[in-house]
Structure 1
Amino acid sequence: MSTPHDPSLRERLAALRGPGTEARPLDARALAALAANPGCRRRALLDAAGIDKGAVAETLGAPARFGQSRFAFSRGHAFEARVKRDGCAELLRLLGVAAEEDGGAAVLPDLGAPGPAGRVARTRMALAEAAPGVWTLLDHPLLTLDVAGSTAYLEPDAVAIAPDGRWTVVEIKSFPILDGGADAMKVGAAARQAAVYVLALDAVEPARTGTDVLLVCPKDFSNLPTAERVDVRRQLAVTRRQLARLTRIEEIAAALPEGTTFDLGYAADGRTVTRPRAELSAAVDTVPAAYAPECLSACELAFHCRDRSRDDGRVDALGRGLRAELGELTTVESVLAAAAGLAGDPDDPAVAALRRAAELRAEALAEAAKEGAA
């Protein structure tokens, strides 16, 4: 769960969720998506407050259907259990530990403790007390990472500590590695998620964690685990830079109108929402968003934000690349006006390019009309 440091901010974020509403956890997958769009204050605030964006989107009538199915979720848990059974013997094999080395086993510290803070403390203790010369495996350790003034709790599948003291993040995924390769998009998503874990480990002790993570997946069409080393240096640099760019949560919260809340107003049955859609929509729209088409695969509120972007005629809905090319021209109306010579600075490269494109289009249409008349 993500918790802000300032008690007054913590109370403000609790009020945004609504009385008695438990905060949703902010996991590595959500952090990776947030880092991919650091300019979106809406997602940053709602994630920091632990608000269920899926339930908000449902109430707004713009749900986003993505994520793991129940079948895929169950399959993933079953595969992870296979990788870790018998004292993580299979995982040790994939790490390159010989079967006869230390009896084929590793030290598996007990990381159990009451509450997130207790688990974090126990994880830090296990990292510090790992004995040199032997392998140590931390099964679902709990780490923390400061994100724009809030503390996010993160839980990697495993962290391996080699005899030389090097830490390695282990990501276990249920998508297959076929003929030595895996789906590039899925590997990329796993690498971005693993980069978040590396950042969290660096916060414990810098330079101890390797930038090559171990990705464990089923081999071909079997359930036999296999592994690949994935270099996440690029994802690590991007994620670190993007998270640093996030506006601090207290600044976003302070800019909200008094009384703003995203409480869905659940009835006594705990399922029926009583909050009027228009009222909730107005509350959501008080927080600036930075919509891009990539949001459709990463954020539950993407369809609502896309509709708003289209209603406002913003060029953001056409993609980040085009948005960057157009510079100060932020709406479709301003782009058309610039192309027609009715607005815009002629010395602006974007305006000049639009006007030249309009001229070429007019010439092509005139030529086509001549050929048609002939």
Structure 2
Amino acid sequence: MRGPDVPAKALDARALAALAANPGCRRRAILDGAGVDKGSLADALGSPSVFGQSQFAFVRGNAFEARVKADGGAELLRLVREKLDRGAEPPAGAHVPDLSATGPEGRAARTALALREATGTPGAWTLLDHPMLALDVAGSPAFLEPDAVVVHPDGSWTVVEIKSFPMLDGAADPAKVGAAARQAAVYVLALERVAARLDPAPQVRHRVLLVCPKDFSNLPTASAVDVRKQRAVTDRQLARLTRLEDIADALPEGVCFSPELPAEELTAAVEAVPAAYAPECLSACELAFHCRARSRETGAVTALGRPVRAELGGLSTVDDVLAAARGEAGDPDDPAVAALRRAAELRAEALATAGAGTNGVAGCH
């Protein structure tokens, strides 16, 4: 599906969190599952995306992460103990295992082994730097790489997210914290799959550590973030995703999403997979501009947002909504149709009253 000699784009936790937030989008599911680079695809379709991290932010984030993990992760482990495990012994000379291996499968196996060994060594702190975790998504494995996982002296595991946005006076941008929490929830789910294979299964903590620069400096500070809600939502949404084989079976024979294809052929291939566009996609998907344009062309009510779409029931286009409001179509017993007609009546009354008031004022003059 990617095209000949096109390397697969890895499915990361950010993409999984976005996919779980919009489980009805078969287009994103099949493209992510097939490892298609949606940014290149959007460029080829003539709807380039502005979604993603700038090069400056990427470099700044890497520099900050290196500082947090310097000296064997001493500062990072101090923050973990301070925010999550004050009763534990202060970390000194924590173990940092080598997680290198061939390929993502090898790294995931090496990570699982390191977690098993660390859990079996009570009383010690262990820091796993960029471990590799595997998570089944719609029948296809996704390999995820959190910034760090810490094994506490009691054998429990904590996910660590390191971000370059600042914490000002102890608080960060709520939208960015929310995005980080959803991403961390995916890592928690993947860690739980690893823990379930051990006997006894260690505890995967649902409070993750979010590490950010303090105020306007490059000094690290941290906050404990409870991701139980995000974990439950993500788990439920991922379980609802249609299996990739089912989506692929419904596609035309030989469909391909290579950016090298002619524009018309590529557009036809993309349009062969149903999408579920919503305005929220603009901050989470590289194909959002393309899907928004198609949604507007067809008059789909999804372009107005998920809450509006939910209120309109079986009315799927703007034309359907307007016809129902005018009494030209729709079942009068349908609550959505009844509400639309009542709204149209109130609007007509308001306009009539406003018109009468204007005429009265004109008459006085």
TM-score (norm 1): 0.91
Q: Structure 1 residue 368: deviation in Å? A: 2.1
From 179, 186, 193, the counterpart of 1:189: 179
Confirm whether residue 51 of structure 1 aligns to residue 36 of structure 2: yes
From 95, 105, 125, the counterpart of 1:135: 125
CA 359–141 in structure 1, closer or farther in 2 if over 3 Å, else same = same
Q: Structure 1 residue 17: deviation in Å? A: 0.4
Provide the aligned C-alpha RMSD in A.
Answer: 1.4
Alignment of 1:121-270 (within 5 A): 121-130=109-118, 131-206=121-196, 208-265=203-260
> Is the partner of 1:17 in helix, strand or coil?
coil
1:92 touches 1:105 (CA, 8 Å); kept in 2? no
Letter in 2 for 1:212: R
CA distance in 1, matches of 2:91, 2:135: 36
1:331 maps to what in 2? 317
Alignment of 1:1-374 (within 5 A): 16-96=1-81, 104-130=92-118, 131-206=121-196, 208-265=203-260, 275-374=261-360
Letter in 2 for 1:246: L
Deviations 1:173-230 (A, max 9, x none): 1111100100001100000000000000011114621000000111111111111000
CA distance in 1, matches of 2:228, 2:107: 28
Q: Structure 1 residue 277: deviation in Å? A: 1.3
Letter in 2 for 1:105: G
Q: Structure 1 residue 373: deviation in Å? A: 2.6
Moved segments of 4+, more than 4 Å: 100-103
Q: Structure 1 residue 363: deviation in Å? A: 1.1
Q: Structure 1 residue 103: deviation in Å? A: 7.1
Deviations 1:93-122 (A, max 9, x none): 111279x96772201111111111111111
Amino-acid identity (%): 71
Unaligned segments of structure 2, at least 5 residues: 197-201, 361-365
Task: Name which of structure 1's ranges 58-67 and 242-251 shifts more when overlaid on structure 2.
Answer: 58-67
What number of residue pairs does the alignment pair up?
349
Deviations 1:258-316 (A, max 9, x none): 12111122xxxxxxxxx221221111000000000000010000011011111111100
Letter in 1 for 2:356: K
TM-score (norm 2): 0.93
2:91 touches 2:125 (CA, 8 Å); kept in 1? no
2:20 touches 2:237 (CA, 8 Å); kept in 1? yes
CA distance in 1, matches of 2:22, 2:80: 34
CA distance in 1, matches of 2:45, 2:281: 17
CA distance in 2, matches of 1:286, 1:204: 37
Unaligned segments of structure 1, at least 5 residues: 1-15, 266-274
1:6 maps to what in 2? none
> Is the partner of 1:287 in helix, strand or coil?
coil
